[in-house]
Every structure is written in structure tokens, then in C-alpha cells.
Amino acid sequence: MRYSLAARCWPTAARYCPVLLAAAIGTGAFTSRLSAQAATGTYIIRGGTVVPVVGAKIPNGSVVIAGGKIQSVGANVQAPQGATVIDATGLFVYPGMIDSGTELGLTEIGSVPGSTDTREIGDFNPQDVALSAVNAHSELIPVTRVNGVTTVITSAAGALMSGSAALIDLWGWTTDQMAITPRVAQVMSYPSSGAGGRGGGFGARPQGDASETASRQVRAMRDFFADARAYADVKAKLATGGSAPNAPRVNQAMESLVPAIRGEMPIIFDVNTIDQIRGVLALADSFKLKVILRGPRDAWRLADTLAARGIPVIVGPTTQVPGTDDPYDAIYAQPGALVKAGVKIAFQTSGASGVRDLPYNAALATGYGLDMDEAMKALTINPAQIFGVADRYGSLEPGKVANVIVTTGNPLDVRSNVKYLFIRGEQVPLTDRHTKLYEQFRARPRP
Amino acid sequence: MTMLLAATSAFAQAGSAQQQQQLDLTAVSLPIPPAGKLVAITNATIMTASNGTIEKGTIVIRDGKIAAVGTDVEVPAGAKIIDGTGKYVTPGIIDAHSHSAAEAINEGTLSITSMVRIEDVLRQDGISLYRQLAGGTTTLNILHGSANTIGGQNAVVKLRYGLPVDSLKFEGAPPGIKFALGENVRQTNRNLQPGQEGRFPRTRMGVEDLLRDAFTRAQEYRRDWQQYDAKKKAAKTAAERAALIPPARDLELDALVEVLEGKRLVHCHSYRADEIRMMLRVAKDFGFRVATFQHVLEGYKIADELAKAGSGASTFADEWAYKMEAWDAIPYNASLMAERGVVVTINSDSDERARRLYQEAAKAMHYGGTSEQEALKMITLNAAKQLGIDKRVGSIEVGKDADLAIFTAHPFAPNARVDMTLIDGRVFFDRATSPTLEQLIEQMKQRKPHVASEDQ
């Protein structure tokens, strides 16, 4: 039983199978951050309202989890033999939520430089791999997941080309185990002319040579893409048996851009203003890039164009003040306006310590025109589609990875709480640094 | 406004005690604008913050004050009616820690700047105040920054947006002052230039020394004045009185004497339990109460001590890990302190968070199970108590100022939105007459040719 299920491990976690994990536990490597159970547990969550996100709500429904996957979802589901029963009467069952822009694992304490790996020196570092610097044992990771956020994009940001982002689950002994797609997208900032404020979605302006104007940065960026285009063409020629007498030496930066320049890997562009968005669209046209906009304030101004071109927008954080000349509700109302125009959206919180507030970020938009169901999609199936993993993530459907949360109510409602949490089919304890301190000091004897 | 500027510049050059005493800025305040005369909010869910929630209730406002609240309230003839059907009404939200509406925040060149005053640099602050109103916020405690141990004097204001700047002032609010402890005042997060020594103090030990030294000087200064006043009173002739030389007026120590006498509320920026306990010891030794600890992220570790000292706590809902001293911050802080009897508020310290304090308050329910009313109090009545203005604002009760927020849904619901904000019964924010993104998009669509070219 165990072995047959192990064979169904997803590729990136191939090295992580129950046998090895059992061995690791045997050596005493177990910490409270991970439970001792391997990912082969069988569970039935029953009696709750199941919200699969894709498809209709199922009152009094059940979700069966086995071998790390969702085995079945429905109103009349048989409990597999030996399944652990989770009574969800009065509770709600949702897929785990996905944050489409964080620095999780790359920073611990914001003002302590020794604990942050979010910004490399230089403007062009597409070869940098965020996953290599992710601390799987960051205290911020359990703090995030106990609020129902099970999956995140994490990356450096702020440079013109910051390197590749990782799509990770917030569970695992190592980053290899956590990774869903180790290099899921390139992260770039489109240069800002300064008008309209910040350059990137992370509040940082590109920190290039101060004398370099935005237009020079744009030209440098175009040159870089042109080089990557030429590099990829030569590479393709060589691969098909062609000869290139002056074939370039292997160049890590160029290598890393090949998938993006071939349109196989998306590029997340941190942008803000309408000028930056137009710039990205022009770049995408010139080099046939697959782009994702992240953090724009002005996307609503081009909503119809973005919808027609099928360019997704990662909105947020919604916890910003609008541009000086924008209506007071511009930040809160933009997500709804984009959806209304037919743009696919997802949400980001953009930091690390505040990623747990992801559902509340989305909630702010629901008072201002974003439909509640659309908001939930923007936290689950939409990012799964945007990052190419919708076959395995983003909804409660048979065969998908069992990232499941059981809550007391709508996860977007601050008053709701997560009661059970499953990542990759394993029941993850709802404890973290904060619950420990809470328990410790709640028990302090009164004088 | 002109008078205020004149007074400010004169203040800067103030040479003598007499001159200084004439510069009470309240004297130049413009009259408060006419309040809402007769208004009734009908058929609403009224969350009073003091006496539970009233379903299908009515609030009658007369001359800017709440004249009646309840289900059995008659709407007076001639009242302007606000239909509250399906709406939720809460007290206007009070932000216990703000830096809005001020031209300057930190006079950080010295470690003691108790002589500087936020009220001297108040401004209308453009659109930001309006956007906070749009989040139901009506009162702000505008604090000096945390660059130094003893900072400047605060200003409590109502968000009377659009009126002259002098109308912002919350008339009758007790004066306060900002103190600060920890990393900011030590300036340890700053890079010193080579050869630069930095400003004293550089450690938490030095912070305590500075406080004790300042209050010792304040005690001596007060004694000098008391002796002078006694001699003046005892003087038998005018000539004898004229021969007496008063002590030199010290604006820095004047403010600290007010603290010693309980006439000026101390709002103390703090993080760690050790520094909070140090401040409590200093305050006890010098015989004053710290009105509030601000941020107070480790307050949960010493909640009993805070409660015993009668100090309030004004904290973030769930901010943490942004600096070393915020490493033990937990989102259960508000709930844990409240459980042990501390008067707790959740503040913004930000023009952005001040737009959604209602969502922040709900986090006290999420973390630690604070009740709905207690959570609401953390952004209304408790803040009023901490600022000494609870007889005027903070709950929906007869006789209080009609400062109210009207929500489209339960204020803690995910889709909560403020539709109207009233101060003194006057509508300062009304979504129906406010430019919105939806309207702007609609307008752009109607200018189709232009938009089309924009959009290509």
C-alpha cells in the first residue's frame, strides 16, 4: 500500500518518499514543525460544506485524502478502510490558498540584514534562483500556513531582473520537498520614470546607477532580451545539428532567460503605472514574451486591453493608499473592475511576515465590487492556472494535491478560523511560534 | 490660519515667560462649524460599543449630539432622515496612534524635545484625511515620532476634513506627550558615518538614566517655582513682590512638570517587556501614571503589571518580525492583555491602516477569541478612555458627540464598506457623493474615442 502510493509522488518530490522520511524520523531529525506522519495518511473529512472552488458547493459533503492526493469529493462518498475521520459538521472545506507574490523564506527579520536575502547587488540577475536561498525552517512559514495559506510564490524583487521565483508548498523538510515548480517564472521590474511613484510591486525603485534614466534602463533591458534572443537562436541551431562557428560561451544569465525568451516560462513584471504597463506590453510584443503583471495601480485603466490579450494581473497588496489623484477606493475597487472586464486576477501580499493576511487582502476588494466567489478563485484556481499547475492545484478535485483547509467559515472573514490543515495530504499541526508564546504566557500564574 | 502662523513663528522666538504664556494656541482657534442640527438614522443595526447591539434601531441627533438611541425612538418632525435599513452603525473609529495631518513628526536632534508641539504643525494633509474618514475613522491621536526618548506633545483631532485647520482640534481633549524606548531611540538601526559618535543614549540602560535625570530636573524646577510662588504669596508689599526674581521658564521642563502633576498623558512607544517594566518603575518612582504604552508588542508577557499600573495598551493587530524587538510579537497580544484587565486598543500608526481599522479589530476575535463588543471597543471606546475623551466619544450613547460610521455590512464581515461617516452629526464622508473608481471607469467609457486611443 505504502509503496504503491509512493510511486505516485509528483516528480519534484521524487526523492521524498515514505521510506526515506521514515528513516529521517528514525534518526531523531523530527521537529515540531513537521508531523511524524508521512504523506500517505488516509483521511475522510465529512459533514461539512465543501467549497471545491471549481464546481458547486456541496452541503454535507465529504473529501477523501489518500496518498497525498484528493481521492474523491462529493455528497455520497464511501470512507476508505482505515481512514481517519475528520468531523467537519458545521465547518467548511476549501482548497489551500495561494499567495502570488511573497518573500517567504528569504527574509526573517526585516531590519536585520543578516536575516534577509531579498536583494542581490546589480540590476540584471536573471540567473539567481530564489529557491536556493529559501530557508525551509523559517519561523514565518508555520505562522503563514496556520491561516490557510498553503502555497506561495517566493522570490527576490526590486532589480530590473531579480531572478527566478519558486512556487512552493509551505511544508517540507527541505526546499526540494517544498518545491512545486522550482523555477516557475522570471521576476522583473519595469523601469519607472518616477512619475506616479514606486517602481516595483515591492515598494522598491530599481536601484540602478542613479545617473541612469528610466529610458536608458529600458534600453538596457531590451538589449538584454535581444542578446537572450540571439543566444537562444544559436542554442536552437546547435541543438538541431547546425553549426555556429562563433558560438557563444555558456552564459548563466543568458541560459536562465532561454525558457522565457522562448515563451515557455512566464515573466512576472512588477509594475505600477500605466506607462510601465504599456512598456511591458511593448516588450512582450517585441520579444514574444509571456508576461504576468504584478502589483499595478493602473491596470484598471487598460483593463479591456489586458483582457483581450489574456494577460493576467496579480493585484495587491490591497493594503496600500491609492495614487494621489486616484479615487479614494481605487486600490480596493481595482480587483473587481479587472474581473468585470474579463481579466484573470490573483492576489499577492508581497512581503513575508504578513503573508498570513492574504485572505484579508482579498476581502478588502469584496466590499468594492469583487464577487466573493471570484475572490476565492483569485486565491486558488486562478494562480494555479497562471503558474501552470492547475492540473494539480487550486481546487478540490479528485487527483489533485491534497492542500485542504477546514474552517469555521469563509476564509476571507477575519472572524473565521482554520480548524484543520492538510498540505500534500498530511495533517499539519496548527502550531507556530505565535501559538507557542500564546500558550506559554496565557498560562503565566496571576500574581 | 494667518494668526496661527504668526503665533508659531513668535513661539519659535519666544524670549520670556510672559510672552510664552500669551501663546496659548487654543485662543486663536476658529469657531467649530455648525453641527448637524436634527438628524435621524432609522432602522439600522446599531453596535453601541457600550451596551451591545440594537437591531432595527434609531439614532436621533440633535445639535451634533446623540439625543436618543433605541428601538422605541420617535423620529422628530423635520429631522433629516438617513435610512439605515440593512446598514450597521458603529461609533466613529478612534485611531490611538496616528502621524497624519502634521507637517513634521520627529524633532529627533535631541533626546528630550518635550517643548515641541504637534499642534503647531497641524495641517489639513490633503486627501489622506478624507480617505481615513472613508474608513469610518473620526478621531486621531497624532503623536510625535519615536526618534527620541522624550518626544514632543501630541494633538488629538477630529477629522473635520475640509474645514480650516484649527477646526481639527478635539476641543477639551487632555494634552499628552510621546515617550519612546528601544531600538528607535537608541538609533541602533542607523548607520553612523565614520567618526560619528551617535546620540546618547545608545543602550536601554542609558534610556532609563535619561528619563530619571529629566524627571529629577523637572522635580527641582517645580520646587523652584513652588518656592517662588510661596514667597510671592507671602510678600507683604508690592515692592517686596517686585524684588522677587522668578525662576527661568524652561519649556522642556514645563511639559514634564505637567506629567508629574498628572495633567499631561504619557504615550510611550515600547516593544519589549523589560523596557516596559523599566518605564513603569520610573513612573512609579516619580509618581505619575503612563497613560498608554504604544505598540507594546510584548505587553502580553507582563499584562498583570500593566493592569496594576493602570496603563492602557495600544497595539498593532498582527504586525511582527519587522525588527529585532518585534520578534516576540504575537497577534494574540490584544486578547491576552484584555483578558487580564488592560484597556487595549488597536491602532494604525499608518495612513493606510487607518482606512481599515475595523478589519484590524476583528483580528482580536480571530486570535484569542475576544468577543465582538470587546473587539469593537478596541477601536472606539477603549481609545476614548486612553485619551481621556470617553465622556464625549467612543460609544453610541445619549449625550455623546454624534461621531458615527455607517457600514453596508457588519464591520467585521469581509465585504464591509463604509458608506457614511458623521462627526458632530455632520456628514463628512458620503460614498454617494464621493468620486469612486466605478464612476471614473464609467466616465472614461463615455468618452469612448479618447479612451479607445488611450487603450491601444
Domain boundary assignment for chain B:
1-30, 34-91+394-456, 93-393
Query: Hey, where are the domains in chain A?
Result: 2-95+424-442, 97-389
Q: Which helix (H) or strand (E) holds A268?
A: strand A267-270
- Residues A66-99 pLDDT 10s: 999 999 999 999 999 999 999 999 999 999 999 9
pLDDT at A215: 87
First to last CA, chain A: 55
* Option in B308, B324, B359 nearest A109 (CB): B324
The Cα-based distances of A346 to A153, A343, A386 in angstroms read 11, 10, 8
Decide: helix, strand or coil at residue A35.
Answer: coil
Nearest CA in chain A to B300: A441
Return the residue of A nearest to B131 by Cα: A328
- Which three three-digit cell numbers place residue B47? 453596535
Please name the member of B336, B415, B437 whose beta carbon is closest to the beta carbon of A337: B437
| Cis preceding-peptide flag for A445 (omega within 30 of 0) | no
Residues 6+ apart with CB under 8 A from A356: A143, A144, A146, A147, A149, B318
Tell me the pLDDT band of A387, cut-offs 50, 70 and 90. Answer: very high
Instruction: Report the phi/psi class of residue B263: left, alpha or beta, with left for phi > 0 and alpha for psi in -120 to 50.
Output: alpha
Tell me if B361 sits within 8 A of B15, measured CB to CB.
no
In the numeric block, which cell numbers belong to residue B14? 519666544
| Residue in chain B lying closest to A370 (CA) | B415
C-alpha B335/C-alpha B344 separation (Å) is: 8
Q: What is the DSSP string of B200-269?
A: SP-SHHHHHHHHHHHHHHHHHHHHHHHHHHHHHHH--SHHHHHH--PPPP-HHHHHHHHHHTT-SEEEEE
Q: Return the amino acid letter for A209.
A: D
- Which value does ipTM take for this structure? 0.90
Grid cell locating A256: 536562465
Predicted confidence (pLDDT) per residue in A9-64, tens digit: 333 333 333 333 333 333 333 333 444 444 469 999 999 999 999 999 999 999 99
Candidates B396, B445, B444; CA nearest to B422 is: B396
How many whole angstroms from its chain centre is CA B438?
A: 33
CB-based contact B400:B35 (threshold 8 Å): no
Q: Which residues contact B428 (CB under 8 A, 6 or more apart)?
A: B133, B138, B159, B160, B161, B162, B421, B422
pLDDT above 90 (res A385)? yes
Question: Pick from A301, A304, A434: which is nearest to B332 by CB?
Answer: A434
Q: For A97-389, which CATH class? A: alpha beta
Range A340-358 average pLDDT: 98
- Judged against a pLDDT cut of 50, whether residue A151 lies above it is answered with yes
Q: Which residues of chain B have pLDDT under 50?
A: 1-34, 450-456
CATH 3.40.50.300 holds for B34-91+394-456: no
Largest CA distance in chain A: 83
Query: What is the pLDDT of chain A when averaged over all its residues?
Result: 89
Residue A194 — very low, low, confident or very high, per pLDDT cuts 50/70/90?
low
Rg (CA), chain B: 24
DSSP, residue by residue, A57-79: -EEEEEEEEETTEEEEEESS-PP
Picking from A328, A412, A433 by the largest number of B CB atoms within 10 A of its own CB, the best residue to mutate is: A328
> Strands B137-142, B312-315: parallel, antiparallel or unpaired by DSSP?
unpaired
Q: Is the dihedral of CA B127, B132, B135, B138 positive or negative?
A: negative
Query: Of B260, B68, B6, B298, nearest to B150 (Cα)?
Result: B260
The helix (H) or strand (E) run that includes residue A337 is helix A330-341
pLDDT at A143 over 70: yes
User: Looking at residue A22, what is its pLDDT?
Assistant: 35
Question: What is the fold, at CATH topology level, of the domain defined by A2-95+424-442?
Answer: Urease, subunit C; domain 1 (2.30.40)
| Region of residue A161 (left: phi > 0; alpha: psi -120 to 50; beta: else) | beta
Which residue matches cell numbers 461609533? B91
Task: Give domain B93-393's CATH number out of 3.30.450.40, 3.90.1150.10, 3.20.20.140, 3.40.630.30.
Answer: 3.20.20.140
Query: What is the spatial distance between Cα B403 and Cα B159, in angstroms, rounded to a whole number?
Result: 10
Q: Which helix (H) or strand (E) holds B307?
A: helix B303-309
User: Which of A104, A326, A414 to mutate to test binding with chain B, by most B CBs within 10 Å of its CB?
Assistant: A414
Cβ separation of A368 and B417 shorter than 8 Å? yes
Residues of A in contact with B191 (CB under 8 A): none
Exposure letters A89-113 (e unless 16+ CB within 10 A, then b): eebbbbbbbbbbbbbbbbbbbbeee
Within 8 A by CB and 6+ apart from B197, the residues are: none
Cα(B292)–Cα(B386) distance, rounded to whole angstroms?
A: 7
Q: What is the pLDDT of residue A248?
A: 78
CA dihedral B383, B386, B392, B398 (to 10 degrees): 70
Closest by Cβ to A319, choosing from B320, B352, B439: B352
- Strand pairing report for A291-294 and A313-315: parallel
Phi and psi angles of residue A229, each rounded to the nearest 5 degrees, phi first: -60, -50
DSSP tag of A309: H
What pLDDT, on the 0 to 100 scale, is given for residue A40?
Answer: 65
Average pLDDT over residues A117-126: 95
CB-CB under 8 Å, A353 with B437:
no
Lowest mean pLDDT among A243-247, A370-374, B211-215: A243-247
Show the cell assigned to B59.
Answer: 439614532
pLDDT recorded at residue B218:
98
Contacting residues of A for B328, CB less than 8 Å apart? 437
What mean pLDDT is predicted for residues A405-424? 98
DSSP letter (8 states) at residue B36 = P
Q: Which of B134, B300, B340 is the closest to A328 by Cβ?
A: B134
Segment A385-391 shows an average pLDDT of 98
Listed in order, strand segments (DSSP E) in B125-227 are 137-142, 150-153, 155-158, 176-180
pLDDT in tens, B23-70: 333 333 333 444 568 999 999 999 999 999 999 999 999 999 999 999
| pLDDT-derived band at A354, boundaries 50, 70, 90 | very high
Question: Which set of grid coordinates corresponds to residue A83?
Answer: 481512514
Q: Strand B155-158 to strand B137-142: parallel, antiparallel, or no bridges (unpaired)?
A: antiparallel
A372 contacts B321? CB cut-off 8 A:
no
Among residues B391, B297, B389, which one has the least CA distance to residue B344? B297
Q: How far is CA B34 from CA A82, A301, B169, B406, B425, in A?
A: 73, 40, 15, 21, 10
Cis peptide before A317 (omega within 30 of 0): yes
